[in-house]
């Protein structure tokens, strides 16, 4: 019997960004650590992570999982390169090269890919692809298996890279008890990081839509926006612009709110809005569409009716008129929301269906699916280690 294999999971954003991709990676590591207690599981990132903060923010225990960084600390140079848009390709190249060298220490390297190309020198490699980028095809060729979160992403991997990928939807925390639908507040909620470019969550458009609802006579309802903020780099200032846009209206912002407050918001919200992709061309900028929509499912799990942009991975979650609503224009968003507000019985029926739909994406199902997808690479790593 050979020695335990060493599995390294890497993301160029882990520890600096606390979003859906980071939760996907951390939960994958948790599943591996629980299923393979005799093997070594390590999460690597460009900068050191604050484990306690990360566990609290992602809702994932890192017990028994090592962490490693390719840089010992965040230097002024790192901050400078990250904050200057034209220099980000250089920063991405440096980060990718560091990760490639690091990969050689593992029997199985699990690299998360979005905008940074990370080649692998490990004997066996598996990619968790958030969304393909045109320059990443060469690096991707070194990976035995590609896993992604939705059919939408899988289609673009095939189109741009000529590779097939396995679809494993993200892990969603599903409360054990069904939410009390009768106790919902007159609240519309949207959750997502405040940032510009890429698959921005378009909180600016959502506030504009809500302002128009108020100007058309809507009273007694509030729009709540929750998510992480950026005080450096190209996204600095976006949060403040959303604050200014909502000034004077019943718009409540929850920047960097802790998980317990976020769960309270989900439990209180009657309607959930998601605007990622709005205003972008899905053919020329497919990355701007929502790749899956984890927060949408989290809201559905707590009985909020989703009203989401009709593109990308959202259409795989929400069936229009069955467990939510899909919109294409800001006028449709407003009209659909008014209908839900004025028809509480219909809203309740959709909320019940939304809760039922969310059960397809629980954390237990995720572990079963991700371990099944990774099993060939794990066994190949064992075979290589014994040879």
Q: What is the tens place of the pLDDT at every residue in 126-183? A: 999 999 988 778 888 889 999 999 999 999 999 999 999 999 999 999 998 877 898 8
Given pLDDT bands bounded at 50, 70 and 90, which one contains residue 386?
confident
Q: What is the pLDDT of residue 358?
A: 97
* 284 and 204 part of one domain: yes
Neighbours of 357 (CB within 10 A): 19
Going by pLDDT thresholds of 50, 70 and 90, the confidence category of residue 82 is low
- Say how many domains are in the chain: 2
Q: Mean of the per-residue pLDDT values for the chain?
A: 91
Task: Over range 315-331, report the average pLDDT.
Answer: 97
pLDDT value at 341 more than 80: yes
Average the pLDDT over each of 29-43, 151-165, 218-232 and give the range with the smallest value. 218-232
pLDDT for 81: 59
Name the band, by pLDDT with cuts 50, 70 and 90, for residue 84.
low
**Is 15 inside any structural domain?**
yes
Average pLDDT over residues 186-198: 91
Distance of CA 36 to the CA centre of its chain: 25
Per the CB < 8 A criterion, the answer to whether 135 and 164 are in contact is no
Same-domain status, 357 and 379: no
Q: What is the largest CA-CA distance in the chain?
A: 73
Predicted local distance difference test score (pLDDT) of residue 65? 96
Any idea what DSSP says for residue 100?
H
Examine residue 78 and state whether it is found in any structural domain, yes or no: yes
pLDDT at 113: 86
CA angle 197, 119, 8 (to 5 degrees): 95
Mean pLDDT comparison of 69-78, 170-179, 267-276, highest-scoring range: 267-276
State how far the Cα of 197 lies from the Cα of 85, in Å rounded to an integer.
Answer: 11
Asked if the structure places residue 271 within a domain, the reply is yes
Q: Is the predicted pLDDT of residue 58 greater than 70, yes or no?
A: yes
In a domain, 356, yes or no: yes
In this structure, the answer to whether residues 53 and 160 fall within a common structural domain is yes
Asked if 317 and 207 sit in the same domain, the reply is yes
Over range 358-385, report the average pLDDT.
95
CB of 7 within 8 A of CB of 375? no
Residues 95 and 130 both lie in one domain: yes
Most confident of 44-58, 82-96, 123-137, 206-220: 206-220
Look at residue 177 in the predicted model and tell me its pLDDT: 85
Is 89 part of any domain?
yes
Q: Residue 60: which domain range?
A: 6-171+362-386
Shared-domain flag, residues 201 and 147:
no
Give mean pLDDT, residues 106-132. 92
Question: What's residue 78's pLDDT?
Answer: 58
């Amino acid at each position: 019997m050979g020695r335990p294999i060493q599995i390294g999971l890497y993301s160029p954003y882990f520890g600096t960004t606390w979003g859906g991709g980071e939760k996907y990676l951390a939960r994958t590591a948790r599943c591996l650590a629980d299923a393979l207690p005799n093997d070594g599981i390590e999460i690597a990132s460009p900068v050191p992570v604050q484990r306690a903060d990360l566990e609290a923010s992602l809702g994932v225990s890192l017990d028994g999982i090592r962490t490693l960084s390719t840089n010992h600390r965040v230097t002024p140079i790192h901050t400078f390169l990250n904050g200057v848009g034209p220099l980000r390709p250089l920063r991405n190249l440096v980060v990718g090269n560091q990760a490639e060298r690091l990969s050689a220490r593992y029997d199985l390297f699990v690299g998360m890919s979005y905008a940074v190309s990370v080649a692998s020198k490990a004997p066996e490699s598996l990619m968790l692809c958030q969304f393909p980028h045109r320059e990443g095809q060469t690096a991707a060729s070194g990976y035995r298996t590609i896993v992604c979160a939705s059919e939408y992403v899988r289609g673009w991997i095939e189109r741009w890279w000529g590779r097939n990928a396995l679809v494993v939807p993200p892990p969603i925390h599903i409360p054990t008890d069904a939410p009390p639908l009768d106790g919902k507040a007159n609240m519309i909620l949207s959750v997502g990081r405040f940032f510009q470019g890429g698959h921005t969550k378009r909180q600016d458009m959502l506030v504009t839509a809500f302002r128009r609802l108020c100007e058309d006579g809507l009273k007694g309802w509030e729009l709540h926006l929750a998510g992480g903020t950026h005080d450096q780099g190209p996204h600095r200032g976006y949060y403040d612009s959303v604050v200014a846009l909502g000034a004077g209206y019943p718009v409540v912002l929850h920047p960097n709110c802790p998980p317990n407050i976020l769960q309270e918001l989900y439990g209180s919200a009657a309607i959930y809005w998601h605007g990622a992709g709005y205003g972008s061309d899905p053919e020329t900028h497919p990355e701007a569409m929502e790749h899956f929509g984890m927060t949408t499912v989290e809201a559905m799990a707590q009985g909020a009716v989703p009203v989401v942009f009709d593109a990308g991975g959202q259409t795989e979650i929400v069936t229009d008129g069955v467990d939510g609503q899909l919109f294409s224009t800001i006028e449709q968003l407003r009209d659909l929301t008014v209908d839900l507000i004025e028809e509480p019985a219909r809203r309740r029926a959709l909320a019940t269906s939304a809760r039922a739909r969310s059960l397809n994406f629980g954390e237990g199902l995720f572990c079963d699916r991700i371990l099944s997808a990774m099993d060939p690479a794990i066994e190949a790593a064992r075979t290589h280690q014994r040879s």
